[in-house]
Amino acid sequence: MARFEGALARASARHGRVPATQAEVISRVCQCARFDIAALAREGRAGTLAIPFVKALTAQVAAASADAARHVHAGATSQDVIDSAAALCLKAACARVDELAVRLGDAAAALARRHAQTPTAARTLLQPALPVPFGWKAAMWLSPLCRSLFALRRAAGEACVVQFGGPSGTLSAFGGEAEKISAALGEELDLPASLVPWHSARDGFARLGAELAILAGVAGKIGRDVALLMQPEIGEAAEAPAPGRGGSSSMPHKRNPALSMLALEAAQRAPGLAATLLGQLTPEHERGLGQWQSQWFTLRELVCSTASGVAAMADALDGLEVNDHAMRRNLESFLKGQPLEAAGAASAMIDQALAGWASARESAASRPQ
């Protein structure tokens, strides 16, 4: 929030709406301002966190320069600072989720390559079906992850934009400079600017929420399969042991699918959170009652859930113990003499999924920083 106010002062100064020296004071104070978080939270209940925040910031600026203090938050509205701050936090959070998703995809791709010829049973409705390569199974994990990575980057890029409209949304305080200051604010924050504000258009956050839930689901699906394969009666794959991981407080010998659990946990928590955002698309008029005031609660839970699930499965696949003997033994017991090798297009499918992943990864390099 302080970053927003500092950037606003600098952007306004660049176009003559705030004297340069005063903007400098505001900007400097914003960089080192400290807040009594509990007090802000308490006072924020009276309406919006922005009001006590701006008051506290203004007091700190006033301690440096009474003249500068008059320009704090000038022309902006509470929602501008709340939404822009959420966008700044989300941009960083999504970049982290992106890194984790790349790690997960790389690990799945490595399994797809390494086990392109390792026969295992496909299982449909939890019943063994025909043989497939275990690498093909990993490629099937990878394929939706390619789509998710593309879509998450797009959704994050579209959702993490400056909110800037002022009291009624038209930037009425900025006269002819409105467009230029809006653009300058984006530059100062290193965040895309949108001349058209999105005070009552919450589709960007809803779409990002859905993509985070989808990615949590993609990781959860891998967790589902790993946990099922790790049943000792099947025993075809296992999360690698690590100190303290997967233990039981009552049965220390047990080896639990602790990472898969984290991914399944996230996949169960994300849809309801995403649904909250999908249900908040109809605010009243130019600023609604109850959407922007709390969507950052929901987005925080959602992005943390997704990150947790994706990180867990990246770790799980990185260290996955694949028991090709158990795969072969189980297959033979079902197939009773039929060939173990997968017929059909398994190899071409693996190649296509790997090519898709290379392309999804590449899209990372070109994404806006």
CA pair distance 32, 44, nearest whole angstrom: 21
Which range touches a copy of itself (CB under 8 A), out of 11-19, 95-103, 104-112, 143-151? 143-151
Q: What angle do CA 89, 182, 94 make, to 5 degrees?
A: 20
CB 131 within 8 A of CB 331: yes
β strands within 147-255, DSSP E: 237-238
Q: How far is the CB of 189 from a copy of itself (least distance, A)?
A: 18
227 binds a copy of itself (CB under 8 A): yes
117 binds a copy of itself (CB under 8 A): no
Q: How far is the CB of 23 from a copy of itself (least distance, A)?
A: 19
**DSSP H or E stretch at residue 133:** strand 127-133
Nearer Cβ to a copy of itself (91/137): 137
77 binds a copy of itself (CB under 8 A): yes
Nearer Cβ to a copy of itself (24/351): 351
Catalytic residue check, 248: yes
Residue for token digits 């400098």?
A: 24
Q: What angle do CA 22, 26, 28 make, to 5 degrees?
A: 110
CB 289 within 8 A of CB 283: yes
Collect all residues with Cβ–Cβ distance below 8 Å to 189 and sequence separation of at least 6.
3, 4, 7, 84, 88, 162
Catalytic residue check, 3: no
CA pair distance 186, 164, nearest whole angstrom: 10
Residues 154-183 that bind a copy of itself (CB under 8 A): 158, 166-175, 178-179, 182
Q: Is 159 left (phi over 0), alpha (psi -120 to 50) or beta?
A: alpha
Nearer Cβ to a copy of itself (68/161): 161
Q: Give me the 248-277 binding string for a copy of itself, x by CB under 8 A, dash otherwise.
A: xxxx--xxxxx-xxxxxxxxxxxxxxxxx-
CA pair distance 240, 312, nearest whole angstrom: 12
100 binds a copy of itself (CB under 8 A): no
37 binds a copy of itself (CB under 8 A): no
Q: Give me the 305-344 binding string for a copy of itself, x by CB under 8 A, dash otherwise.
A: ---x---------------------x---x-------xxx
Which range touches a copy of itself (CB under 8 A), out of 8-16, 92-100, 103-111, 350-358? 350-358
195 binds a copy of itself (CB under 8 A): yes
> Active-site positions?
248, 287
